[in-house]
């Protein structure tokens, strides 16, 4: 699975702190006054939109206090593991019908979700529908009425963060540098195999995995983690079902190289791949005794899913949502 590229092959990461975010939101509130009638029903989409709304509510009382008495909020949620949307405060029809509505999100990636939300709101007969996003990718199928920053397809965006996300390659234990990640290539065929002591993974060769990449046109991709030129682990991923999800097929660290944080590096890299490819969900099958490891990275057991037996191992289906700015408030 190749990463999308910008025109100049440079992937940019945008970090907006509180001051920068507030500057964009004040600009948005000013431009919102030009919309007639001004939207009085606000629909934030998922946690990203809710976080943006919280920031707006901190600015409105001083700058535009009249909005507080006029505005009704109807949050939109996405069902876990799907793209099904619902209004978390019940039937929105009476509030939406004949009113001016604002659809609000922190970042629009592919635009599929915003399109579905807009269609659902229009189904309830509003007088007007406007939309805002702090970030929007230029190839989105949905472009909002007002936005703050337009970014390229491969760029990443974070806002209102207290610290930089821990998804860099050197984010494991100290003393493990230098580390590099490369796509599996023919030059790796001469490398000794990784021995993980898991039969289903150890019986496949580098040649098997490279063949799999070629016959799937790169949609299934293995990335090798190298330290000083020696492979210490690898990750295999592929998109699933065409529904905006990324499947982790393998996360493997050589038995002689364990306890150095390499497994965590690979899991965080998979999360980075998911973000850059606009995926909203990551799934994997964890060896039952290893589920605690993945729970540290936000994975949860899939409700109602049966375990899978392969050779001497039993696997538990797990998944996590991809977050584009911060973890949900607790």
- Residue 217: what pLDDT? 87
Residue 64, C-beta contacts closer than 8 angstroms, at least 6 positions apart = 29, 33
Q: What predicted TM-score, i.e. pTM, was given to this entire model? A: 0.58
Peptide bond into 243 cis (omega under 30): no
Please, are residues 291 and 313 in contact by the beta-carbon 8 Å criterion?
A: no
Please, are residues 121 and 97 in contact by the beta-carbon 8 Å criterion?
A: no
CA 169 → CA 83, 196, 259, 261, 264, distances in Å?
31, 21, 16, 10, 9
Please, are residues 44 and 105 in contact by the beta-carbon 8 Å criterion?
A: yes
The Cα–Cα gap between 252 and 267 comes to 10
- Residue 172: what pLDDT? 52
- Give the chain's end-to-end CA distance (angstroms, integer): 34
Please, are residues 251 and 265 in contact by the beta-carbon 8 Å criterion?
A: no
Question: Between 3.40.190.100, 3.40.1410.10, 3.40.50.2300, 3.40.630.30, what CATH number should domain 179-321 receive?
Answer: 3.40.630.30
The Cα–Cα gap between 118 and 252 comes to 42
Domain boundaries, given as residue ranges, for the chain: 13-159, 179-321
Peptide bond into 37 cis (omega under 30): yes
Structure tokens at 263: 């497994």
Residue 306, C-beta contacts closer than 8 angstroms, at least 6 positions apart = none
Q: Flag residues of the chain having pLDDT under 70.
A: 1-10, 80-83, 163-178, 241-243, 323-330
146-180, pLDDT tens digit by residue? Answer: 999 999 887 888 888 776 665 566 555 555 456 78
Rg (CA), the chain: 22
CA 214 → CA 185, 186, 218, 250, 323, distances in Å?
10, 11, 6, 17, 31
Average pLDDT, the chain: 85
Please, are residues 300 and 318 in contact by the beta-carbon 8 Å criterion?
A: yes
- 157 backbone φψ class: left, alpha, beta (φ>0; ψ -120 to 50): beta
> What is the CB neighbour count within 10 angstroms for residue 330?
3
Buried-state track 182-215, b at ≥16 Cβ within 10 A, e below 16 = eebeeebeeeeebebebeebeebebeebbebbee
Structure tokens at 228: 């000083």
DSSP code string of 25-53: HHHHHHHHTTSSSPP-EEEEBHHHHHHHH
Domain 13-159 class in CATH: alpha beta
Q: What are the backbone angles phi and psi of residue 292, rounded to the nearest 5°?
A: -60, -35
Torsional sign, CA 174, 259, 249, 215: positive
Helix axes 46-63, 18-32, angle to 10 degrees: 70
């Amino acid at each position: 699975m190749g990463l999308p590229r910008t025109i100049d092959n440079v992937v940019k990461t945008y970090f907006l702190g509180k001051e920068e975010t507030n500057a964009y939101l004040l600009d948005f509130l000013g431009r919102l006054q030009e919309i007639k009638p001004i939207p009085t029903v606000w629909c934030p989409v998922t946690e990203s939109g809710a976080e943006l709304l919280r920031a707006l509510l901190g600015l409105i009382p001083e700058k535009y206090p009249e909005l507080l008495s006029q505005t009704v909020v109807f949050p939109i949620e996405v069902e876990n593991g799907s793209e099904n949307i619902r209004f978390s405060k019940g039937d929105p029809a009476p509030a939406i019908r004949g009113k001016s509505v604002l659809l609000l999100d922190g970042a629009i990636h592919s635009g599929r979700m915003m399109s579905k939300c807009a269609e659902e709101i229009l189904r309830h007969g509003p007088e007007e529908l406007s939309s805002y996003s702090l970030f929007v990718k230029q190839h989105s199928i949905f472009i909002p009425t007002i936005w703050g920053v337009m970014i390229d397809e491969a760029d990443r965006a974070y806002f209102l963060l207290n610290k930089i996300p821990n998804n860099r390659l050197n984010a494991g234990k100290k003393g493990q540098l230098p580390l590099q990640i490369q796509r599996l290539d023919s030059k790796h065929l001469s490398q000794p195999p990784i021995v993980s002591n898991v039969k289903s993974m150890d019986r496949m060769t580098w040649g098997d995995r490279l063949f799999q990449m070629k016959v799937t046109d790169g949609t299934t991709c293995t990335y090798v983690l190298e330290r000083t030129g020696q492979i210490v682990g690898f990750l295999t991923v592929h998109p699933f079902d065409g529904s905006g999800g990324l499947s982790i097929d393998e996360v493997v660290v050589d038995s002689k190289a364990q306890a150095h944080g390499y497994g965590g590096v690979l899991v965080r890299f998979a999360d980075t791949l998911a973000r850059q490819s606009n995926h909203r969900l990551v799934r994997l099958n964890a060896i039952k005794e290893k589920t605690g490891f993945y729970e540290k990275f936000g994975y949860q057991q899939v409700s109602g899913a049966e375990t899978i037996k392969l050779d001497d191992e039993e696997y538990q289906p797990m998944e996590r949502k991809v977050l584009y700015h911060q973890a949900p408030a607790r």
